[in-house]
Amino acid sequence: MKIKVRPEDFRVEELLQLRLTRQGRYSIYRMEKRGWDTMNVLDYVGRKHRLGRLSRAGLKDRYSVSAQYVSTERRGPEYITGNGFSLKHIGFSAHPVTRDLLLGNRFEIVVRDLTHEEVRTAQTNLPKLQNDGFANYYDEQRFGSSRIREQAPGVPRPSEPRHPSPVFVVEKLIQGDFEGALRLYMATPVESDDPEPRRSRELIEKCWGNWSRCLKHAKPEFVPVLNHLRRTARAAGRSEFRVLSSEFAKPETRNSKLETVHPDFEGAVRRIRPDLLGLFITSFQSFIWNETLAELIRGLDLPAQIVRYRQGEMVFFTELNPVAWRFFERHEIPVVSPELGRIQPKAHSHQRTAQNPDSEAVGKGLSTVGASRHLLPERITQAIASVLRRQGVRLNDLRLPFNIEGLRFKPYTRPGIVVPRELRSSEPQPDELHHDRQKLELAFELPPGSFATILIRRLFLNAE
């Protein structure tokens, strides 16, 4: 089974509640892209066309053909095009495009290289997903800032065999290990890296401490960070230079020594783009949330199967009894934050639709499971506590040791189960790209933050 064989095999379009006007504070663009991450396009367009900071509702995978909406306070061209992306000005609005306007996403996906058994599995599972939904995990693309470490002795995971445990950039930050955070971010390859960024990280690791050499191999987003390290190392080294140098020392030795003396690692962290620092936080919160959901499904004693992924294990229920359904219907699961003890999960209606007659809503209502006006039940708090112990983190640790406006572990809740809207599948067809294999064309809508790739994992779960 394969997805994203070609970018056009994975199409996604935002469903946005947005009122467009002829005049307004914000210019609204519809952006279509392929082969680009959302943030990289916005950074490139903002700099090249002097549009400042572009605001968006969601992030879209670069291995897709995607359509989404962005806003800027500046007036820009009617059309902006580049290699793999285009932006069209569609009007104005009194408000920026933010996540609050996002109703969900519509997907059209071609799943290829299917055996007859895999097709039968999908056809069997489809009605179950239409009726019961699926466990609403974050998928691997959420965890770009994690790296894998070996499990600490004496701290077993809940199932065997043991699985490597991830370490996150933000964990280093809350420990005050700024150099460790920077090394994870810039000098530790990720399995999902393309060859060029992988090579960049490997070379930076080899010459770590020689910031001038690191700069020669740096990705654009690393440059401000490494420039600060080079500048502060040299400044700190000037006072020691008279002692370290002598008439017998070679000049190149003295210059190299200057670059390795007491660089300002904390200041370098502050040179990382705030939106990336924010992703470091949400990536860790999402991992703890995934582990909590897996713990809850185990505890509800549901028929389930385990799917391993780079960061751990996803436990998917295969049948959902009335008790479990009521539990997830009543309670959303919070992400970890220092305010966790004071969280009162929001009510969440089954049908999420635009009610404002002045709003222009692209798309229809979306179904999720989870609604509560009550305090967190003990089952959820115990699951979170168990996961945090396993990760070696305490709730009170979840604070950054420096202040940047708007950057913190923000509290929010997320439904444990999501029911896709209008989920349908084509009849199996011959796959023109894989000999003697079949393909299926899927279409469905999901609420904000839910992953189409998780739906596909569940749809083909029993294929092995």
Reduce the DSSP state of residue 402 to 3 states and report it: coil
Q: How far apart are CA 215 and CA 193, in angstroms?
A: 19
pLDDT at 371: 44
Asked whether the CA dihedral 300, 305, 308, 309 is positive or negative, the reply is: negative
Tell me the pTM: 0.82
DSSP-assigned states of every residue in 151-216? PPTT---SSSS--PEEEEHHHHHHTT-HHHHHHHHHHS--TT--HHHHHHHHHHHHTTT-HHHHHH
pLDDT at 237: 61
**How many CB atoms are closer than 10 A to CB 341?**
10
Q: Domain 114-165+276-422+442-463 falls in which CATH fold?
A: Pseudouridine synthase (3.30.2350)
Calculate the CA dihedral of residues 279, 280, 285, 291 and round it to 10 degrees.
110
pLDDT at 149: 56
pLDDT at 262: 73
Q: What are phi and psi of 417, to 5 degrees?
A: -130, 140
Helix axes 251-258, 223-244, angle to 10 degrees: 120
Any idea where the domains of the chain sit in the sequence? 7-104, 114-165+276-422+442-463, 169-273
- List Cα–Cα distances, 438 to 116, 198, 432, 444, 457, in angstroms: 7, 34, 8, 20, 17
Supply the DSSP symbol for 405.
Answer: T
Q: What is the pLDDT along the chain (464 residues), one digit of tens a residue?
A: 999 999 999 999 999 998 999 999 999 999 999 999 898 899 899 999 999 889 999 888 888 999 999 999 998 899 999 999 999 999 999 999 999 999 999 999 999 999 999 999 999 999 999 999 999 999 998 887 677 654 444 444 444 444 567 889 999 999 999 999 999 999 998 777 778 888 999 999 999 999 999 999 998 889 999 999 999 988 766 544 444 444 444 444 444 444 456 799 999 999 998 888 999 999 999 999 999 999 999 999 899 999 998 888 999 999 999 999 999 999 999 999 988 865 544 444 433 333 333 333 333 334 445 444 346 789 999 999 999 999 889 888 899 988 888 899 999 999 999 999 999 999 999 999 999 999 999 999 999 999 999 999 999 998 44
DSSP-assigned states of every residue in 309-365? ETTEEEEEESS--HHHHHHHHH-PEEPP-TTGGG--PPP--SSB----TTSEE-S--
Q: Tell which CATH classification among 3.90.1150.10, 3.40.1440.10, 3.50.50.60, 3.30.70.3160 matches the domain 7-104.
A: 3.30.70.3160
As a 3-state breakdown, the chain gives helix, strand, coil percent values, each rounded to 5, of 40, 25, 40
Considering only CA atoms, which of 34, 44, 89 is closest in space to residue 67?
34
pLDDT at 255: 46
- List Cα–Cα distances, 230 to 72, 257, 267, in angstroms: 34, 11, 12
